[in-house]
């Protein structure tokens, strides 16, 4: 007998009909003799709907009291879908029970809207499994030390599922979603994208961190830390396909580089429209400038991604970096009102209409000229590169947002990823 964790995303839970289908699939696994824990997301659109209601009443403001209520509110989406799934499973003739994060409990820190899981108490879930029940645990949420409900950031149900699988030492964690696996890039942008049979953990980590929302980055980090066997697969196959077939479908995240793995130099292309670029022009070119600019940004709790400092000229230099688009207005205000005057900078410029496009592949380690192929194919499309950053297994560029799809398609072709 194996202990299996299933996670179903919002689209997979999107209607009572789909929830019934999920219940039938889970029942199939339970009847085959597996101990089953299921982690559902809220029904599709529900989290956006709830957060939209809050914004109608009061525009978002970065304060703890407001964020606490957002979590209180958003967590209800998963509570509803979990109870509905339990009801559907009971209707299938199985014993099923659902728990909200605080009931398990899944303990987190108090960083509302982006809390991190500290620990999971597995006693209650284990007792139910031993009694032959299917256990449903809400995705996306936990509880802090003071008993406040927290949420784990958008897409956080992936992380709940992997964390629950790690805590229970599950044999496998299956992430059921609305595509049938991890593709070379988002198949909704590039129809020629191909499904990967497997992807290395390191590549998946880069893809997720660079914008591929098929898995939340923290779920991949968890899987790596606790070596949770992880697979991404479709919830839209007929629920009654043979379990052996289902268990081999989709994309496996692998922890060892096995010989059979597709040996592409570039395995995938990720993109991210959530960033904005800010430049501080004409700052005095002297030691401590980067520390002063970025120090002030960090003190305001704003995360910085890419950073560039230009070569100085006549004692002055330019300094650019990117932040999350949600933090754009706040960062601009901070720089214009406080940092630039203090430094004697000449101008602060911002551009929220940028995007980051990245190529990812462990094959890049052993191949030279990969980045130059990337730059060449972008220049052939007339796309100007504004910023570049590289690491061992990825190269990212910042470009004008309006060229995003063109760039992703061109790179997909240039690196031989298009399906034949
Ligand atoms: P769920 O609600 O099941 O969590 P998400 O919308 O969060 O689903 O994630 C699945 C989506 O991720 C797909 O519909 C697809 O558009 C997108 N996606 C982005 N990059 C990729 C990729 N490389 N492979 C597969 N899907 C991707
Ligand atoms: N419902 C949450 C969201 O929409 C969590 C998730 O779906 O993973 O972000
Ligand atoms: Mg998701």
How high is the pLDDT of residue 380?
Answer: 97
How high is the pLDDT of residue 259?
Answer: 58
Q: What is the SS3 assignment for 187?
A: coil
Residue 262 has pLDDT above 60, yes or no: no
Ligand 1 atom having least distance to the Cα of 157: 4
A 10 A CB-CB count for 127 gives 11
The string of pLDDT tens digits covering residues 359-370 is 999 989 888 889
User: Which one of 10, 13, 43, 49 would you pick to mutate in the ligand 2 pocket, going by the greatest count of ligand atoms within 8 A of its CB?
Assistant: 10
Residue 260 has pLDDT above 60, yes or no: no
| DSSP secondary structure letter of residue 220 | H
Residue 78 has pLDDT above 90, yes or no: yes
Report residue 37: phi and psi, to 5°.
Answer: -120, 130
Please say whether the beta carbons of 186 and 210 come within 8 A: no
200 alpha carbon, distance to own chain's centre: 16
CA of 126 to the centre of ligand 2 (A): 25
CA of 296 to the centre of ligand 2 (A): 32
Report residue 272: phi and psi, to 5°.
Answer: -150, 120
What's the token pair of residue 24? 């039938």
How high is the pLDDT of residue 98?
Answer: 98
> For all residues of the chain together, what is the average pLDDT?
95
Return the residue whose CA atom lies nearest to atom 7 of ligand 1. Answer: 214
The string of pLDDT tens digits covering residues 374-407 is 999 999 999 999 999 999 999 999 999 999 999 9
Decide whether any atom of ligand 1 lies within 6 Å of the 41 Cβ.
yes
Residues within 5 A (CB) of ion ligand 3: 9, 155
The tally of CA atoms less than 13 A away on the side-chain side of residue 55 is 9
| DSSP secondary structure letter of residue 43 | P
d(CA 199, CA 356): 22
Percent of the chain beyond pLDDT 90? Answer: 90
d(CA 150, CA 233): 28
Percent of the chain beyond pLDDT 70? Answer: 98
d(CA 148, CA 110): 8
Mean pLDDT of 163-191: 97
What's the pLDDT band for 420 if we cut at 50, 70, 90?
Answer: confident
The string of pLDDT tens digits covering residues 291-347 is 999 999 999 989 999 999 888 888 999 999 999 999 999 999 999 999 999 999 999
CA of 236 to the centre of ligand 3 (A): 15
176 alpha carbon, distance to own chain's centre: 15
Mean pLDDT of 404-418: 96
Strands lying side by side in the sheet with 347-351: 304-309, 316-324, 275-284, 347-351
The string of pLDDT tens digits covering residues 120-165 is 999 999 999 999 999 999 999 999 999 999 999 999 999 999 999 9
Decide whether any atom of ligand 2 lies within 6 Å of the 183 Cβ.
no
The owner of tokens 């094959």 is 363
Please say whether the beta carbons of 202 and 217 come within 8 A: no
d(CA 161, CA 181): 17
d(CA 103, CA 68): 18
Decide whether any atom of ligand 2 lies within 6 Å of the 40 Cβ.
no
What's the pLDDT band for 286 if we cut at 50, 70, 90?
Answer: confident
Please say whether the beta carbons of 148 and 65 come within 8 A: no
Who has greater pLDDT, 6 or 290? 6
Provide the strand spans (E) within 75-209.
96-99, 106-108, 117-120, 134-137, 141-143, 149-151, 172-177, 198-200
Ligand 2 atom having least distance to the Cα of 153: 9
Alpha helices in 262-384 (DSSP H): 289-299, 328-334, 340-343, 370-380
What's the pLDDT band for 258 if we cut at 50, 70, 90?
Answer: low
How high is the pLDDT of residue 252?
Answer: 97
Model pTM score: 0.94
Query: Which ligand is located closest to the Cα atom of residue 12?
Result: 1
Return the residue whose CA atom lies nearest to atom 4 of ligand 2. Answer: 47
Question: Distances in Å between the alpha carbon of 81 and those of 39, 121, 156, 397?
Answer: 10, 22, 15, 39
Mean pLDDT of 209-227: 96
Decide whether any atom of ligand 1 lies within 6 Å of the 77 Cβ.
no
d(CA 362, CA 267): 8
């Amino acid at each position: 007998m194996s202990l299996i964790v299933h996670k179903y995303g919002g689209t997979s839970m999107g209607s009572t009909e789909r929830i019934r289908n999920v219940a039938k699939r889970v029942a199939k696994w339970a009847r085959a003799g597996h101990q089953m824990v299921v982690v559902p997301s809220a029904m599709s659109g529900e989290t956006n709907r709830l957060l939209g209601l809050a914004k109608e009443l009061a525009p978002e403001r970065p304060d703890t009291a407001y964020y606490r209520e957002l979590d209180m509110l958003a967590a209800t989406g998963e509570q509803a879908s979990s109870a509905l799934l339990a009801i559907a499973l009971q209707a299938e003739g199985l014993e099923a029970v659902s728990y909200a994060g605080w009931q398990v409990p899944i303990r987190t820190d108090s960083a509302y809207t982006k809390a991190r899981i500290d620990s999971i108490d597995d006693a209650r879930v284990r007792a139910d499994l031993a009694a032959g029940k299917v256990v449903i645990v809400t995705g996306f949420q936990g509880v802090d030390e003071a008993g406040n409900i927290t949420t784990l950031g958008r897409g956080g149900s992936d992380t709940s599922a992997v964390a629950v699988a790690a805590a229970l030492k599950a044999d496998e964690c299956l992430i059921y979603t609305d595509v049938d696996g991890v593709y070379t890039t988002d198949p909704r942008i590039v129809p020629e994208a191909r499904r990967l049979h497997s992807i290395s953990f390191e590549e998946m980590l880069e893809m997720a961190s660079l914008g591929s929302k098929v898995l939340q980055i923290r779920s991949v980090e968890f899987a790596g830390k606790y070596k949770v066997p992880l697979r991404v697969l479709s919830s839209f196959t007929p629920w009654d396909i043979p379990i052996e077939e289902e268990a081999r479908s989709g994309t496996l995240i692998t922890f060892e580089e096995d010989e059979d793995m597709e040996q592409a130099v570039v395995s995938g292309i990720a993109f991210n429209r959530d960033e904005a670029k800010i430049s501080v022009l004409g700052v005095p070119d002297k030691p401590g400038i980067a520390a002063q600019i970025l120090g002030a940004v960090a003190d305001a709790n704003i995360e910085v991604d890419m950073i560039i400092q230009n070569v100085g000229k006549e004692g002055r230099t330019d300094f650019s970096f990117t932040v999350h688009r949600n933090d754009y207005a706040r960062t601009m205000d901070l720089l214009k009102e406080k940092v630039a005057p203090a430094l004697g900078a000449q101008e602060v410029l911002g551009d929220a209409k940028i995007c980051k496009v990245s190529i990812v592949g462990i094959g890049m380690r052993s191949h030279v000229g990969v980045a130059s192929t990337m730059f060449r194919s972008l220049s052939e499309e007339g796309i100007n590169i504004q910023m570049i950053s590289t690491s061992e297994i990825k190269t990212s560029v910042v470009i004008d947002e309006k060229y995003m799809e063109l760039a992703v398609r061109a790179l997909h072709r240039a690196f031989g990823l298009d399906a034949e």
